[in-house]
A = this chain, B = another copy of it.
């Protein structure tokens, strides 16, 4: 049987003669992308081939091979001999297990919340120290949580002075039986649109469950401004908004605990990373001054508080921690992104783009670190569009279009019947609509004679799919307009930060893509629509949900918290609205990919060729 060597892993597998390369790769555990079901249409399963041993290229591979003769589409190749191939990062589904992210290792496993087994001397008439002293001295700890202190006499005697103590820094949070039972932290990415909670074992450092849902505040408006507007109306509005996000988090923690077969009561620490408004509302702080110049937040340093104080349903003594904020409009999520990317420690010039309802951009150039925020709106997260939905089962997450006949190939999460389209699907769909000529540079849906272009209540729309119930999943002209504003906001932020930093795009060595769906988006599609600057794919690093990962890292190492504090004070926040020319740059950026097409030569070529962008 032929031997297939897969790089860069170095994995070797035996394959039966004539078997399909894509199938073999998938069976070998390689997370290779494929949307069109192996028809050669989506051009996602590109591999690099270093030997013979494959059948001849098919006609579907012409575009790919025009980039490099060593490129093949795995779905089109059959194995007829030993072969060495490389699966480039751009062809991989990177929605990986977050804990495998290497940065955690750099900090070491040094959690602030830890457990200690201890056997305490029982009291006697010659040792009448109080229960509190006894425990503090045995653990060399500084303090005891107030609620635990109240129950300490009963607990210590029930445990017969032989116990496992849970400590956070010098504070004793709990005492419980020595049973090698696990205990947990929860890292939360508090997004304007989406909240993601990671349940993490603080004993092993492993993520045991991840849950996400829309932020319950979404009923009060799509963006941070509408939330602030509601909060400042007075009455109990602020408490209401706080209650909504806390309820969302409580639900996620309960779901995650159910999945991991543990109890929210076993959660002893929570770390929250979110933008400034989300962080303030989570804590219940007034946000009135953030909205207007000089955009002053209530606080910027990290907060440390008892989770019970804000109504979180976890262990009674659990500690809450919020990431430090950079400014009124650049928050702790960006600090977390930077930490996860490691860009601040590199000499090279780099950009970081957090794709979310609040799009954030960071430029690092020498000692300079500039950050900016832009109100992209929830369109990039699949919310606020006609058939938008969160990245959950049945969401179209990946799309390609046959440029000849406008057939749409798509992949849904869980391979379920399509119910809607999520962020990465939207970007893919619009990119392919451009490639296929369904959309023009100004974002108008073309008048093409195809049953896929329909009219819905006077709104032109392109049909991506029809589900089993007969419901059409479309991208409408209105959706396109919303998306144009969103992507223009993000691109303009990149452009202006580069200009302020005096850095040209060609000097940029790395672009880190972050965000709740930053791992799922196809960066080629993001370039085609002009959401991010055109750069070689090799310079793009998708770090996934940096906010959630940063929060997770802070649970696993107290050094992360120290570094976050330093970083938050080091980054300079730039208010884009005060920058000359912002408005006209923004308008230019609403075009696909941009009014100044010379910034996107390869994208323009791909559109002209009706071919996807390849590296």
Contact = CB atoms under 8 A, between A and B. Distances in A.
Given A129-B300, A149-B298, A151-B285, 9 more contacts: A128-B294, A128-B573, A130-B325, A131-B299, A146-B309, A150-B284, A153-B289, A154-B286, A154-B288
A423 interface: no
A157 B154 CA distance: 48
B309 A132 contact: no
A53 to B, nearest CB: 61
Interface in A474-525: none
A296 B154 contact: no
Contacts of A151: 285-286
Contacts of A295: 128
A208 to B, nearest CB: 30
Interface residues on A, range: 35 or more
A152 interface: yes
A131 B289 contact: yes
A320 to B, nearest CB: 11
Contacts of A287: 153
A301 B133 contact: yes
A125 interface: yes
A146 B295 CA distance: 21
Nearest to A151: B286
A76 interface: no
Contacts of A128: 294-296, 327-328, 573
A159 to B, nearest CB: 13
Contact of A285 (B152, B286, B327): B152
Interface string A120-132: 0001110111111
Contact of A153 (B130, B132, B298, B305): B298
5 contacts: A127-B294, A130-B301, A146-B309, A153-B289, A154-B288
Contact of A146 (B124, B153, B305): B305
Which one of A289, A299, A303, A325 has the highest number of Cβ atoms from chain B below 10 Å of its Cβ?
A299
A154 to B, nearest CB: 5
B309 A130 contact: no
A131 B152 CA distance: 39
B294 A130 contact: no
B153 A300 contact: no
Given A125-B578, A132-B301, A299-B130, A150 B286 contact: yes
Interface in A147-172: 149-154, 157
A573 B129 CA distance: 11
Contact of A299 (B149, B294, B328): B149
A297 interface: yes
Nearest to A276: B130
A150, A152, A287: residue with the most chain B Cβ atoms closer than 10 Å: A150
A154 B258 CA distance: 41
Interface in A290-349: 293-301, 303, 305, 309, 325, 327-328
A123 B296 contact: yes
Given A146-B305, A286-B153, A129 B296 contact: yes
Interface in A93-126: 123-125
A328 B129 CA distance: 9
A283 interface: yes
Given A289-B131, A573-B128, A298 B152 contact: yes
A213 to B, nearest CB: 25
